[in-house]
Amino acid sequence: MVVSLAGSSDEGEPAATAATTEEEEEEEESMEEPLNMGPPSHDQPLLAAEAAGEDSAVRLRAHHELMVTHVPTLAVPPELELRDPAMGVWTRQTVPRGTRYGPFRGKWIPEPLDLRYAWEVRVLGSGIRGFVDASTEFGNWLKLVRSTNQSEAQNVRPLLLAGQ
């Protein structure tokens, strides 16, 4: 699956609120905003090691549980960045409408294992609905794009190309 920006996204702004004319652009104040995917709505906290860009981190959690985490091996494009825990993927500069990122690696399933790492996909007019779940995938920064249930805040969308 490839992710396509639903609208142009100015530096630090979601595409959904990007100005459409030069006058509006001059009037708009630049606010930093994350990239937001559609439902389900769950914030995904990043480990500090992930936010710092380390390749992997081993963390000892409460109850002596050993947890190994990996930062995505696919490089985050230079116009985007991963921020501190729970902040997701943000723009650093203007990202034009139609820009594509991907692939989003995951497994197609009827219900996700973890909503924080799954994107719902509906094929219009077909009744086909499912989730591409990246819960068990390492190496895909796209799974860290935050989700939202507010349609006006959505500025990225999944795009299936050649069945992927």
| Token pair recorded at residue 59 | 């963390």
The dihedral through the CA atoms of 150, 152, 155, 156 has a sign that is: positive
Q: How confident is the model at residue 59 (pLDDT cuts 50, 70, 90)?
A: very low
| Token pair recorded at residue 109 | 């399933």
User: In this predicted model, what pLDDT tens digit does every residue of 2-48 receive, in sequence order?
Assistant: 555 554 555 554 333 233 333 333 333 344 556 666 554 333 333 33
User: In this predicted model, what pLDDT tens digit does every residue of 106-151 receive, in sequence order?
Assistant: 899 999 998 888 888 888 888 888 998 998 887 788 888 887 778 8
35 contacts 80 by C-beta, under 8 angstroms: yes
pTM score over 0.85: no
pLDDT of the residue at 111? 94
User: In this predicted model, what pLDDT tens digit does every residue of 26-35 receive, in sequence order?
Assistant: 333 344 556 6
**Closest Cα partner for 106 from 76, 72, 82?**
72
Residue 111: CB atoms within 10 A of its CB come to 9
Beta-strand ranges (E) seen in 27-155 are: 36-37, 56-61, 65-70, 80-82, 89-91, 100-101, 107-109, 118-123, 128-133, 146-147
Q: How does strand 56-61 pair with strand 65-70? A: antiparallel
143 contacts 106 by C-beta, under 8 angstroms: yes
